[in-house]
Structure 1
Amino acid sequence: MVNRPRIIERPWGRYREYARNEPCTVWIVEMKPGQAGSLQSHQDFDELWIMLTDGGQVQVADQVRQVRAGDEIFIPRGTKHRLTNLGGDLLRMMEVAYGQVRDEDKVRYEDRYGRETHM
């Protein structure tokens, strides 16, 4: 599992390696303006969020910060986290999940859309 990307230097520049020969799931998340994901955690996988656009706010455990394109946020399994779109445009983020992804593993603590939560 990769906590930070490995940076490989070449004569022409460099590249970042996020996973090599390990199982992972990759999504591009698109969040509407003014919306937020649930405050949630997972026990079976770590997450790496790579922001593709500006205007986001990320909560990881008790830390909240604004993020912009290019920021990378690592979320260890079992850690509460949430993404919020503070901007007026679509917020885009690439999410890489390292480990076994199962819907049953998601625990929601807060959700503004009325989905089931656990305290």
Structure 2
Amino acid sequence: MGGPPAVHVDHRPWGRFELLLLNGRASVKVLTVEPGARLSLQRHARRDEWWQMLDDGLEVEVDGQARAVPRGERAWVPRGAAHRVRNTGDAPARFLEIAFGDFDEDDIERLADDYRRA
């Protein structure tokens, strides 16, 4: 019997993500955001995201409204909402992302790309 499925790890300028599951209509990731870093402001036309904070120090912005979300709390990002996460703490902070919808890099609209990706 084989072992557990492989985990895809992708390093980004703000930290990294670990893709735990991806199928046609859902993905599960753990994202780690380095202290003082934030994800680029983006929106998705074809997917919703549900976030569970695994550590303290994370601030969530959804459609211009930013709020601290403590460990154990959740945030919902509806399809079409501009969103990002920032780490305001002194240590790397993680959150679990469960996304529902179509997964395609072309679905990512970067509204403010802090990392100047093409």
Query: TM-score normalized by structure 2?
Result: 0.77
Tell me the CA shift for residue 79 of structure 1: 0.4
Tell me the CA shift for residue 103 of structure 1: 0.8
**Residues 9-49 of structure 1, C-alpha deviations (whole Å, 9 max, x = no match):** xxxxxxxxxxxxx9311000011111000000001110001
One of 99, 107, 110 as aligned partner of 1:108: 110
Q: Secondary structure at the match of 2:29?
A: strand
In 1, distance between residues paired with 2:60 and 2:89? 13
In 2, distance between residues paired with 1:99 and 1:109? 20
In 1, distance between residues paired with 2:113 and 2:72? 27
User: Could you say which residue in structure 2 is the equivalent of 1:70?
Assistant: 72
In 2, distance between residues paired with 1:114 and 1:44? 23
- Once the two structures are superposed, the pairs formed by residues 1-119 of structure 1 within 5 Å of their partners are 23-116=25-118
Identity percentage over the alignment?
Answer: 38
**Residues 43-72 of structure 1, C-alpha deviations (whole Å, 9 max, x = no match):** 111000110000011100021101111111
The number of aligned residues is 95
* Structure 1 alignment gaps of length 5 or more: 1-21
**Residues 87-114 of structure 1, C-alpha deviations (whole Å, 9 max, x = no match):** 1111100000001111110001112222
The CA RMSD over aligned residues, in Å, is: 1.3
Q: Secondary structure at the match of 2:98?
A: strand
Q: What one-letter code is carried by the residue in structure 1 that aligns with 2:41?
A: L
* Structure 2 alignment gaps of length 5 or more: 1-23
Where has structure 1 moved over 4 Å in runs of 4 or more? none
Q: Secondary structure at the match of 2:42?
A: strand
